[in-house]
């Protein structure tokens, strides 16, 4: 059955979802930056990489929410965490009464805002742990994948939201993106935050891919501390991550997750290179804030947050390299 899908934030990640779903026959609208949207409007959206090749010719594009034509059966939210509130205000009213909104975002705090915007019965969260890039406008490439996308109800036990999550997990999987339904999406999201918090700021500060970080003993020690602090914060908030302990998580992290994404350059690094704001406040910064509220010390996460904020104020990597 064809569904009307809005991808709100059609950068690299959103374009992968939109491209695969459009190629599977769904009515997809992409909302994103003008240069990429103009290229898609002119020649369609080409997707290639680890999940295979797709070309979606019949894709509607928009660069401003005001031109969108509601209602949509599902909104896939793929904007940066710092744009969540503003984007929800624009796109939540476009959602059909029987539809759902799926957050496919990095970091913590997004799901709570989605629930507030559309209600628990229509709120779905997802853990996404594959990487993509836009080599040229109109084209997107899947570069790395550690695990399938995991979809689940934002509010555990909400039957309507769970039904939405099951349905869209199946549809996305059928379109060609490895995806599965999970009962506790928060457990998966916290585990992803540990992954991002350990890798992204160090990779961004030193311009290195993930594998190079894991190869250095001092970098590993810092990442181990990030994960240890993250687990302490999770325990204080009553969260049970997918791995039962920091030690168990680190085994998965170093033996499976990092090797699967060893050549990946994080979006945080790419943001700094382009002089853009990063999502540090939704990742390490959120662990720091949650820890402070719970009386849990997180000095490593606090330091990494401050360093990335400082680098942002300096104007990113290119301007720093240009200084005498």
Distance between CA 201 and CA 243 in Å, rounded?
Answer: 22
Parallel/antiparallel/unpaired status of strands 179-181 and 27-31: unpaired
Whether the per-residue pLDDT at 323 is higher than 60: the answer is no
Residue 80 among the catalytic residues: no
Give the span between the Cα atoms of 198 and 200, in whole angstroms.
6
Q: What is the pLDDT of residue 1?
A: 56
State what percent of residues in the chain have pLDDT above 90: 96
Single out the catalytic residue among 4, 127, 186, 192: 192
Mean pLDDT taken over the chain: 95
pLDDT value of position 2: 74
Sign of CA dihedral 62, 171, 11, 162: positive
pLDDT number for residue 141: 98
Beta-carbon contacts of 218 under 8 Å, excluding residues fewer than 6 positions away, are none
The reported pLDDT for the residue numbered 106 is 95
Rounded distance between C-alpha atoms, residue 220 and residue 226, angstroms: 10
Residue 211, Cβ neighbours under 10 Å: how many?
Answer: 16
**What's the farthest any 2 CA atoms get from each other in the chain?**
60
Q: Does domain 187-322 have CATH number 1.10.3720.10?
A: no
**Predicted structure pTM score:** 0.94
* pLDDT value, residue 34: 97
Q: What confidence tens digit (pLDDT) does each residue in 203-233 have? A: 999 999 999 999 999 999 999 999 999 999 9
Distance CA 273, CA 204 (A): 9
In the chain, domain spans: 4-183, 187-322
DSSP state of 64: S
- Tokens standing for residue 118: 């559309």
pLDDT of residue 153: 98
Strand boundaries in the chain, DSSP class E:
4-8, 27-31, 45-49, 54-56, 60-62, 72-77, 95-103, 123-127, 130-133, 139-145, 149-153, 179-181
How would DSSP label each residue in 275-318?
T---SGGGTHHHHHHHHHHHT---HHHHHHHHHHHHHHHHTHHH
4-183: CATH architecture: 3-Layer(aba) Sandwich (3.40)
- pLDDT, tens only, 14-30: 999 999 999 999 999 99
Residue 316 predicted with pLDDT over 70 = no
Report the DSSP beta bridge partners of residue 131: 144
Task: Give the model's pLDDT for residue 324.
Answer: 45
| pLDDT band (50, 70, 90) for residue 321 | low
Q: What DSSP character marks residue 29?
A: E
Percent of residues in the chain assigned helix, strand, coil, to nearest 5: 55, 20, 30
pLDDT in tens, 63-78: 999 999 999 999 999 9
Q: What is the mean pLDDT of residues 246-252?
A: 98
pLDDT tens digits, 260-278:
999 999 999 999 999 999 9
Looking up tokens 């943001």, which residue turns up?
271
């Amino acid at each position: 059955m064809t569904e009307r899908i809005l991808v709100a934030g059609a950068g690299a990640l959103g374009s992968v979802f939109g491209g695969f779903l459009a190629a599977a026959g769904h009515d997809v609208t992409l909302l994103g930056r003008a240069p990429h949207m103009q290229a898609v409007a002119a020649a369609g959206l080409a997707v290639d990489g680890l999940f295979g090749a797709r070309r979606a010719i019949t894709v509607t594009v928009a660069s401003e929410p005001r031109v969108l034509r509601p209602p949509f059966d599902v909104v896939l939210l793929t904007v940066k965490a710092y744009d969540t509130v503003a984007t929800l205000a624009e796109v939540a009213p476009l959602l059909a009464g029987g539809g759902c909104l799926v957050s496919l975002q990095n970091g913590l705090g997004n799901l709570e805002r989605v629930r507030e915007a559309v209600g628990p019965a229509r709120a779905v969260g997802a853990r996404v742990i594959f990487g993509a890039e836009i080599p040229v406008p109109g084209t997107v490439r899947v570069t790395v994948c550690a695990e399938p996308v995991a979809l689940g109800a934002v509010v555990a036990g909400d039957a309507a939201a769970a039904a939405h999550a099951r349905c869209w997990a199946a549809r996305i999987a059928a379109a060609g993106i490895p995806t599965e339904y999970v009962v506790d999406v928060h457990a998966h999201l916290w585990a992803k935050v540990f992954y991002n918090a350990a890798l992204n700021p160090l990779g961004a500060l030193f311009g290195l891919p993930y594998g190079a970080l894991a190869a250095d003993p001092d970098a590993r020690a810092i990442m181990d501390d990030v994960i240890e602090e993250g687990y302490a914060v999770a325990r204080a908030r009553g969260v049970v991550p997918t791995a039962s302990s920091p030690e168990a998580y680190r085994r998965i992290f170093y033996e499976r997750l990092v090797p699967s994404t060893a050549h990946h350059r994080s979006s945080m690094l790419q943001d700094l290179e382009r002089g853009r704001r990063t999502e540090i406040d939704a990742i390490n910064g959120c662990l720091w804030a949650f820890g402070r509220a719970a009386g849990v010390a997180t000095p490593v996460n606090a330091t990494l947050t401050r360093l990335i904020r400082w680098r942002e104020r300096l104007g990113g990597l290119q301007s720093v390299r240009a200084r005498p």
